[in-house]
Structures are given as structure tokens and as C-alpha cells.
């Protein structure tokens, strides 16, 4: 008889990271995707190192964080729905394993530019996120917060 795995209980967790070494990437080209009406293609991303301070199960590990710009998230986007019929599950994720630890997500394009500049200038030094574990090694993130040097992540954790 085959063993069945007990499904993981949805558990909310708060993540706290110290951020460093930001790098932005920008590409602009003619649009070659047939399904897009836009004549141009634009890609923007922010990558940085994120030292995990909380939760304890991944504390001390270095993550590669990668945030991509999504124009539909911009406040003035014509494509953004008020409230979709199917609820949005996540705006990012945390995935970790023996040899890998990644944080990823989507943000509005203007936010990516401002965050990259602020991290490079030392005025954004920490990131907090709230999420729900969907597997033992994968969490859906539902919120992000970026904070400056006045925020003490160690004191915040307690």
C-alpha cells in the first residue's frame, strides 16, 4: 500500500531580510511577440542579495532576490482590474532547498527604479514580507515592505 503524504497546513509567516548589492537591468526593443499590440518591448528588473533574519528555519541564509517590473501594476495602468473574479494568490515567492534560496516578485516599474536607487544610496536597507507556506520549501508572498536605516530588523524580530 502506497504512503500518502499529509498536506501541509497553510501557515502564515513573516520574513525579514537585510538587503545589499542591488543591480538593475533594463532592456528596450521592438516587440516581436505576435500576441501583443504594443510595438515596443520593455523589461526592467532589480536583483539584490537578501540575508534572511527571520523565520528561524532559514535564518542566516543568503538569498538571491529578483523583482521584475510589471506595467499592469502601475497606478495608471488601463489593464488593471478593480477586483478579479479569481483571487490573486501571490505577488511573489520564497523558494529554498539545499543548494538554492530565492526570493522573487513583481512590482510597478517606477517602484523598481526608486528601490534600486535607494538601495544603492543606502536609504533602503531591509525588506519585510508576509506569506503563506504552500509546501515545506515554497511560500507565496502576499506583501512586501522596504525600510531604511532607521528600521532595526533585529529589534523588530524581538
| Average pLDDT over every residue of 135-149 | 94
Per-residue pLDDT reduced to its tens digit, 56-88: 989 999 999 999 998 887 766 556 566 667 888
Number of H helices and E strands in the chain, helices first, is: 2, 7
Per-residue pLDDT reduced to its tens digit, 119-133: 999 999 999 999 999
**Average pLDDT of the chain to the nearest whole number:** 88
pTM of the model: 0.82
Tell me the pLDDT band of 10, cut-offs 50, 70 and 90.
Answer: low
Which residues in 39-125 belong to E strands, given as ranges? 40-54, 62-69, 92-96, 101-107
Question: What pLDDT is stored for residue 31 in this prediction?
Answer: 81
> Closest by alpha carbon to 28, among 11, 17, 44?
44
What are phi and psi for residue 37, nearest 5 degrees?
Answer: -85, -20
Per-residue pLDDT reduced to its tens digit, 17-45: 999 999 999 998 888 877 777 788 788 99
Asked if residues 109 and 74 have their Cβ atoms less than 8 Å apart, the reply is yes
Amino acid at each position: 500500500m502506497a504512503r500518502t503524504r499529509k498536506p501541509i497546513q497553510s501557515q502564515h509567516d513573516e520574513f525579514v531580510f537585510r538587503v545589499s548589492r542591488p543591480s538593475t537591468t533594463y532592456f528596450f526593443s521592438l516587440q516581436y511577440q505576435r500576441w501583443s499590440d504594443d510595438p515596443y518591448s520593455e523589461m526592467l528588473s532589480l536583483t539584490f542579495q537578501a540575508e534572511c533574519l527571520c523565520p528561524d528555519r532559514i535564518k542566516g541564509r543568503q538569498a538571491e532576490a529578483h523583482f521584475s517590473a510589471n506595467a499592469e501594476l502601475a497606478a495608471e495602468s488601463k489593464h488593471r482590474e478593480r477586483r478579479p473574479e479569481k483571487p490573486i494568490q501571490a505577488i511573489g515567492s520564497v523558494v529554498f532547498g539545499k543548494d538554492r534560496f530565492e526570493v522573487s516578485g513583481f512590482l510597478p516599474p517606477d517602484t523598481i527604479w526608486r528601490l534600486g536607487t535607494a538601495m544603492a544610496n543606502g536609504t533602503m536597507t531591509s525588506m519585510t514580507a508576509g506569506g503563506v507556506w504552500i509546501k515545506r520549501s515554497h511560500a507565496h508572498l502576499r506583501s512586501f515592505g522596504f525600510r531604511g536605516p532607521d528600521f532595526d530588523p533585529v529589534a523588530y524580530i524581538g
